[in-house]
Amino acid sequence: MNADSILDIQKVTKRYNGITAVDQVSITIPKGAVFGFLGPNGAGKTSLIRMIMQITVPDEGTLAMNGERLHPGHAAQVGYLPEERGLYRQAKVEEQLLYMARLRGLPNETAKQKIRFWGEKLGLTAWWNKKAGELSKGMQQLTQFAAAVAHDPILIILDEPFSGLDPVNTERIKDLISELNRQGATIIISTHRMEQVEALCDSIMLMNHGRIILQGNVREIQQRFRKNQFRIMYEGSLKGLPLDEFEILNDNQYEAILSPRTPMGSGDLLKRLTEYLNIRSFSEILPSLNEIFIDQVQRQTIL
């Protein structure tokens, strides 16, 4: 078990009625990371999260938190926003947030202070006396977020945290995730929203059919799947560019995407281009996580 990790999952398997939902999964999540769980529906992400939350237990393998085998005492240190709505529809917003904070071990007065703080931060206090069933999907999601973080957990698990949110509240939650991470919380985000993962996560794992098919640092993964394509803003004419050395993929009046036929370092490439053009800007085009996600899932499906 790694003392520098907050979560250490080793060869975990979970089956339901003979169907393997999680198959020999191993992950180590460092303290202070923002880590993305990615995968199509049915990949096994939620089954894995339920084992981390001790809702279910693995059929095989081990899970450890902070260097200790996972045990019931860890529950108070974890915040969880489930994908499905987990609110009591007939309970008022304030009373159920207070109940959930007390359930995580906070004394009554501390719990009141914490939920008031998060209620104001998320714009919920105007809805304090409304029943959860009367709230919009977005307001329900904000309420669940408050419930997940009010007890100051060291590990926060967010399953589709942007579901039902408008663009303003999506940005609000993104900012709060970054703020909580800066304050020391480790955060796991399970989502299909690839653009959010790129903006927020340090590292990811991609699951399909219960197995991990890709994991690592986001930028390193993008570099691994780079396509040798570059975007330039330029002055001059591409007509003088030797086409036996460069393939012009797109040209739109002083902005072009091109690919050297022989891969070379960025510095060498830029030097070569300046022999023919006045380069105003130069950048490599890295594949998005969405492109990598689709490519890897399709490849595994074919195999």
* 187 and 109 housed in the same domain: yes
* 170 and 256 housed in the same domain: no
Kindly report the pTM of this predicted structure: 0.86
* 152 and 18 housed in the same domain: yes
Question: Among 223, 241, 267, which residue terminates a domain?
Answer: 223
Whether residue 279 is predicted with pLDDT greater than 60 in this model: the reply is yes
Backbone angles phi, psi at 207, to 5 degrees: -105, 150
Q: Give the residue among 186, 182, 136, 188 at the shortest CA–CA distance from 163.
A: 136
Average pLDDT over residues 170-189: 95
* Residue 298, domain member (yes or no): no
Say what the pLDDT of residue 4 is: 81
Structure tokens of 253?
């009046």
Say what the pLDDT of residue 252 is: 87
Whether residue 1 is predicted with pLDDT greater than 70 in this model: the reply is no
Number of domains in the chain: 2
* 211 and 134 housed in the same domain: yes
Average pLDDT over residues 257-285: 91
Indicate which CATH number applies to the domain containing 74: 3.40.50.300
Say what the pLDDT of residue 2 is: 59
Identify the weakest region by mean pLDDT among 24-33, 47-56, 182-191, 259-268.
259-268
How far does Cα 99 stand from its chain's mean position?
A: 28
d(CA 263, CA 208): 32
d(CA 256, CA 42): 40
* Residue 289, domain member (yes or no): no
* Residue 125, domain member (yes or no): yes
Bridge partner list, 190: 37, 159
Mean pLDDT of the chain: 91
> Is the Cβ–Cβ distance between 57 and 226 less than 8 Å?
no
* 127 and 254 housed in the same domain: no
Whether residue 40 is predicted with pLDDT greater than 90 in this model: the reply is no
Backbone angles phi, psi at 64, to 5 degrees: -130, 145
pLDDT tens digits for range 100-133: 999 998 999 999 999 999 999 999 999 999 998 9
Average pLDDT over residues 174-189: 96
3-state secondary structure of 231: strand
Say what the pLDDT of residue 3 is: 63
Q: Kindly report each contact of residues 118-127 with a partner whose C-beta sits within 8 Å and lies 24 or more positions away, as own/partner.
A: 118/146, 118/149, 118/150, 119/93, 119/94, 119/146, 121/176, 122/146, 122/172, 124/93, 127/93
Say what the pLDDT of residue 295 is: 83
Q: What percent of the chain has pLDDT over 90?
A: 74
CA dihedral 271, 273, 275, 281 (to 10 degrees): -80
* 219 and 238 housed in the same domain: no
* Angstrom distances, CA of residue 299 to CA of 26, 122, 214, 228, 295: 21, 41, 12, 21, 6
Structural Rg of the chain based on CA atoms: 24
* 214 and 242 housed in the same domain: no
pLDDT tens digits for range 58-98: 999 999 999 999 999 998 999 999 988 778 889 999 999 99
Say what the pLDDT of residue 300 is: 66
* 138 and 242 housed in the same domain: no
Average pLDDT over residues 156-160: 95
Structure tokens of 235?
């002055």
Question: Among 175, 194, 223, which residue terminates a domain?
Answer: 223
* Residue 270, domain member (yes or no): yes
Structure tokens of 296?
């890897």
Average pLDDT over residues 266-271: 91
* 59 and 109 housed in the same domain: yes
Q: Give the residue among 90, 38, 22 at the shortest CA–CA distance from 207.
A: 38
Angle 295-13-296 from CA coordinates, rounded to 5°: 5
Say what the pLDDT of residue 260 is: 93
Segment holding 37, helix H or strand E: strand 34-38
* 219 and 231 housed in the same domain: no
* 255 and 193 housed in the same domain: no
* 113 and 217 housed in the same domain: yes
CB proximity list for 93: less than 8 A, separation 6 or greater: 119, 124, 127, 128, 129, 130, 131, 132, 135, 143
Indicate which CATH number applies to the domain containing 265: 3.30.70
Q: Which domain holds residue 239?
A: 227-284
